[in-house]
Amino acid sequence: MMKKLKGLKAFFALVFMISCSSDNPVDVNSKNILVKNVIINGSDIVDGKAKQLVVAVLPNNATNKTITWSVSDESIAVISSSGLLTPVENGTVTVTATTNDESGISAEKVITISGVSGPPVFVESISITGTDISDGQPQQLSVQVLPVTASNRIVTWEVSDALYASISSTGLLTPKLNGVVTITAIATDGSGKVGQLQITISGLVPVYATILKAENMLLWQRTNGGWPKEPHNDFSGYERVQTSSEIATANSGKNKTDTTIDNGHTITEVRFLLSSYKATQNPEYLAAAIRGIDWIFEAQYDNGGWPQVYPIEPGDYSRYITYNDNAMGNVMNLMRDIFLKKNNLDLIDIRYVSQAQIAFDKGVDVILKTQIVVNGTKTAWCAQHDQVTLLPADARSYELKSISGSESVGVVRILMTIDSPSSEVIDAVNKAVAWFESSKIVGYNLVSVTGDQYETGKDKILVEAPGNIMWGRFYDLVTNQPFFCSRDGIKRSAIAEITHERRNGYSWYGNWPSSLIGSEYSNWKTKHGI
């Protein structure tokens, strides 16, 4: 639907969009390569013994290649999380391997079981033998599985904190950092039995490689675990050696509470530190990333939203639930990576998985509750919402409460990542896309022009552009018309009516929803049979 627009000054064919980096919404969605095919390898069981099944997951560079195993009839056989199929009695079962990414791909294989002479003997107890490590060297642990007649005595190994040690599939414990870890051996026969042993690690004097950018992130991390937006708002300052003045400033400001998720901060640092840890095994990087993650969990409101800055600053708009610049979207994507154990988030302690799932679900809940309803119809979202009333809220003087044509895109994308969306989520997405469709600005474009008649020799003006489609940054909550604002806080209906500084220093128009309401929305509907 074409909107009535004012302030048309001239007509130009050349289109060139200029935006202010600090004010322009950023799409930080990383490329996600989905699984296209899964193949189960394994043959029939003829001796009644457990058999390890394996899968080929294609393509090889898929982002998340993990799968979940299941069987059609557990009275015939049970299968472990690693694909070990244990017969219970003779018969036929269908084994299914389902991907854990958004592709929804799965594979099935029919396995015929024979040679089972009687019911399986399940594991009754597991005990681990090992000693404290005092020399920092690896130790081979052993395990006793009882009864000795158990049909499947194979176990899988886990370590309580990957920061301190790793353990191989055969029970070789490799220390990384002095401290205490709990080792767990888990039965794979479906009995649910586990054995545990606590081991103290000492005598480790490791030497780890360092990465300049990661070291600088350690320097600027605040005591509470988060990061400030300044002085490295665009992150490029992390790439160079810090000056003596910067080092002094960072160290003296450790206890500041200017920690934020604005402009991708804290989330970006956490992700980079995890990748640096993966490359170097430097435990300081992992420990710093975990402190950042703890700060993110602490910052979440009980209703599920996240403020821009935490601890909150009373009276400041940074206390609001913040969708602006995809702030909450970045957090939600991190939570999702944690409970899916992808994009290096498998490096942190497994105890965070359920915590992240709960935090994500609460975030979805507040997203649904903050969707703006106009005349009984759901539309989209404001860039920020009051954390108590959940109503749209003002931010900076020129960022008045509105329906956002830019920030709402990131909110919808969060909802579209949900693997099994509820009817409420589906309705929210459909209604938001319908609002994007109804709010199109057709036949106009904002172009950059130069000439002596303009302040500082350049300006942005609105021109006719047949066939062009764009959206406004802000739409009035009542009229659904785009509006514009100078730093005086007065709402205006045409971009030509605001000051030159704000007209050229902010992204008032854009094509933010284009891909979302096109291929992304179509693929989402197809995936969920909508």
Q: What is the pLDDT of residues 17-65, one digit of tens each?
A: 333 333 433 333 446 789 999 999 989 999 888 888 999 899 988 889 8
In angstroms, the CA 165 to CA 162 distance is 5
pLDDT digits (tens, 9 = 90+) for 1-26: 333 343 333 333 333 333 333 343 33
In angstroms, the CA 468 to CA 153 distance is 67
Please, how many CA atoms are within 13 Å of residue 498, restricted to the half-sphere of its CB? 26
In angstroms, the CA 39 to CA 352 distance is 31
Please, how many CA atoms are within 13 Å of residue 511, restricted to the half-sphere of its CB? 10
- AA identity, residue 489: G
Q: Can you list the positions of beta strands (E) in 229-332?
A: 321-322
Say if CB 438 and CB 6 are below 8 A apart: no
Phi and psi at 55, nearest 5°, equal -125, 150
Contacts of 236 (CB under 8 A, 6+ apart): none
Phi and psi at 146, nearest 5°, equal -120, 150
Tokens linked to 79: 């299968």
Contacts of 200 (CB under 8 A, 6+ apart): 132, 133, 179, 180
Question: Residue 529, class by beta-carbon neighbours within 10 Å (0-12 exposed, 13-18 middle, 19+ buried)?
Answer: exposed
In angstroms, the CA 384 to CA 323 distance is 6
First to last CA, the chain: 25
C-alpha closest to that of 449 among 83, 3, 18, 155: 18
Who wins on pLDDT, 350 or 216?
Answer: 216
Work out the average pLDDT over 79-108.
Answer: 91
pTM above 0.85, yes or no: no
Contacts of 181 (CB under 8 A, 6+ apart): 159, 160, 161, 164, 165, 198, 199, 201
Q: What is the CATH number of domain 207-320+331-365?
A: 1.50.10.20
pLDDT digits (tens, 9 = 90+) for 240-286: 999 999 999 999 999 999 999 999 999 999 999 999 999 999 999 99
Give the H/E segment covering residue 384.
Answer: strand 384-385
Q: CA torsion 400→403→407→408, rounded to 10°?
A: 160
pLDDT digits (tens, 9 = 90+) for 429-444: 999 999 999 999 999 9
C-alpha closest to that of 95 among 155, 53, 38: 53
Say if CB 72 and CB 79 are below 8 A apart: no
- Using a pLDDT cut of 90, give the percent of the chain over it: 78
Tokens linked to 30: 């990383």
Structural fold of domain 125-201? Immunoglobulin-like (2.60.40)
C-alpha closest to that of 407 among 493, 471, 473, 469: 473
The reply to whether omega before 25 is within 30° of 0 (cis) is: no
Strand order of the β-sheet with 77-79 is 51-52, 84-87, 77-79
Contacts of 433 (CB under 8 A, 6+ apart): 412, 516, 517, 521
> What integer pLDDT is reported at residue 21 of this predicted model?
37
Strand partners, 155: 187
> What integer pLDDT is reported at residue 489 of this predicted model?
96
Q: Which residue bears the tokens 């958004």?
A: 102
pLDDT digits (tens, 9 = 90+) for 322-335: 999 999 999 999 99
Same fold, 37-113 and 125-201: yes
Tokens linked to 356: 């992240």
* Total Cβ atoms within 10 A of residue 404: 28
Strand partners, 92: 112
Going by CATH, does the domain composed of 37-113 fall within 2.60.40.1080? yes
pLDDT digits (tens, 9 = 90+) for 307-326: 999 999 888 999 999 999 99
Cα-Cα-Cα-Cα dihedral sign, residues 21, 333, 525, 409: negative
Q: Which residue bears the tokens 């489609």?
A: 469
Question: Helices (DSSP H) in 34-162: which residue ranges?
Answer: none
Domain range annotation of the chain: 37-113, 125-201, 207-320+331-365
Say if CB 222 and CB 259 are below 8 A apart: yes
C-alpha closest to that of 106 among 201, 160, 37: 37
Q: Quickly count helices (H) and strands (E) in the chain.
A: 11, 27
In angstroms, the CA 332 to CA 361 distance is 9
Tokens linked to 312: 């909150």
